[in-house]
């Protein structure tokens, strides 16, 4: 008797794999919708501070040990500054000036920076497909982040009307999101060092708590009327970004990573900006220019090439070797 495949189980597994990226993408849309009623640093803090306590509660329930050394707390503090405070702070400020979809694309370009830093710090091999992905990614990010007028004038050879200004460039939300991406990339590189001293789940919880605390301090120092204008819908959106977009998404991601699904997870990274772009358009009516759409496509291609470079090489190399052997044999026959 032939057993039928369990399609329900396969479908459920696919949903669980996709869930973190769906939650991260839609959380960006939720935060963008709240921005007019609050301030960026407060919103960033409220997203991660409560989520950190939720992650810590889960860590306690799982019997994870808390940090016991100064080295552990030192790495957690540095991790909180970079991947908590700076990453979320740049996201909040960036969402003031760009769309949720474009912001998500810029943030998820962080594998490009991770690949370069890993090559420098850990001597990891990037390879042909990795370098191709990096080149395409730089082009894609440029099409997204640079003003359309600059690109059009440059293509037309009209260099006198570029009106370059660094201040205007970094007031551009896409470039603030790129800074968020770089912060996340540095945080990703730090994880192996943090994990030497503290459990990864515990470090995640504490870095969210401490990073959120710093964001709150900066918010109370430099911002006003953080929650005065928040209505019930806005609080619900913030709760969604906190509980689902941070605590549950991070929890699912680490659970899947612990089960050995790293290849599947890395291949699905590009889904986050796709969800953000789709729901940003449906819910917030966000639209992109033609050049920005082309940049989004190129950036997603680059993310895939970077994440899957080893798998692509393993698939293509044997075929290429067989092709070379066949050509050599044919040349021998002809000669």
Describe the chain by its helix, strand, coil percentages, rounded to 5: 80, 0, 20
- Angstrom distance (rounded) from CA 35 to CA 33: 6
Residues of the chain whose pLDDT is less than 50? Answer: 1-8, 261
From the list 42, 31, 34, 28, the residue with the least C-alpha distance to 225 is 42
Which pLDDT belongs to residue 266? 62
Which pLDDT belongs to residue 199? 87
Which pLDDT belongs to residue 318? 75
C-alpha distance from residue 163 to each of 8, 147, 150, 166, 171 (Å): 57, 11, 8, 10, 15
Which pLDDT belongs to residue 220? 94
Which residue in the block uniquely carries the two structure tokens 């082009």?
139
The answer to whether the beta carbons of residues 95 and 35 sit under 8 Å apart is yes
Q: What is the DSSP string of 164-208?
A: --HHHHHTSHHHHHHHHHHHHHHHHHHHHHHHTTS-HHHHHHHHH
Which pLDDT belongs to residue 335? 62
pTM: 0.77
Q: For residue 306, count CB atoms less than 10 angstroms from its CB and return exposed for 0-12, middle for 13-18, buried for 19 or more.
A: buried
pLDDT in tens, 188-240: 788 778 888 888 889 889 999 999 999 999 999 999 988 999 999 999 999 99
Q: What separation, in Å, do the N-terminal and C-terminal C-alpha atoms of the chain show? A: 56
Long-range contacts at 286-295 (CB < 8 A, ≥ 24 apart): 286/99, 286/100, 286/101, 288/99, 288/101, 288/102, 289/148, 291/143, 291/148, 291/151, 292/102, 292/143, 292/144, 292/148, 294/140, 294/143, 295/105, 295/139, 295/140, 295/141, 295/142, 295/143, 295/144, 295/145
Which pLDDT belongs to residue 3? 39
């Amino acid at each position: 008797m032939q057993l039928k495949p369990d399609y329900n189980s396969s479908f459920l597994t696919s949903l669980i794999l996709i869930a973190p990226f769906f939650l991260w993408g839609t959380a960006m849309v939720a935060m963008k919708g709240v921005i007019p009623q609050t301030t960026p640093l407060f919103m960033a803090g409220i997203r991660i501070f409560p989520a950190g306590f939720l992650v810590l509660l889960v860590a306690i329930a799982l019997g994870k040990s808390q940090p016991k050394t100064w080295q552990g707390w030192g790495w957690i503090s540095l991790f909180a500054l970079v991947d908590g405070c700076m990453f979320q702070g740049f996201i909040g400020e960036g969402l003031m000036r760009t769309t949720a979809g474009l912001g998500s694309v810029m943030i998820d370009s962080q594998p490009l920076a991770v690949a370069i830093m890993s090559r420098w710090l850990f001597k990891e091999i990037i390879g042909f497909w990795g370098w191709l992905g990096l080149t395409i990614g730089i082009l894609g990010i440029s099409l997204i982040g640079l003003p359309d007028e600059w690109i059009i004038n440059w293509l037309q050879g009209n260099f006198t009307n570029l009106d370059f200004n660094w201040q205007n460039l970094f007031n551009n939300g896409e470039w603030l999101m790129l800074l968020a991406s770089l912060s996340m990339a540095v945080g990703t590189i730090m994880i192996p060092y943090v994990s030497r001293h503290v459990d990864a789940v515990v470090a995640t919880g504490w870095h969210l708590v401490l990073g959120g605390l710093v964001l709150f301090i900066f918010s109370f120092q430099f911002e006003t009327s953080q929650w005065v204008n928040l209505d019930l819908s806005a609080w619900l959106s913030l709760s969604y970004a906190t509980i689902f977009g941070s605590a549950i998404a991070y929890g699912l991601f680490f659970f899947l990573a612990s089960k050995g699904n790293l290849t599947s997870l890395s291949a699905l990274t590009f889904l986050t900006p796709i969800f953000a772009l789709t729901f940003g358009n449906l819910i917030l009516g966000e639209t992109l220019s033609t050049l920005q759409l082309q940049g989004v496509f190129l950036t997603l291609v680059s993310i895939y090439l970077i994440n899957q470079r080893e798998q692509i090489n393993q698939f293509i190399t044997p075929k290429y070797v067989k092709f070379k052997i066949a050509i050599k044999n044919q040349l021998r026959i002809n000669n």
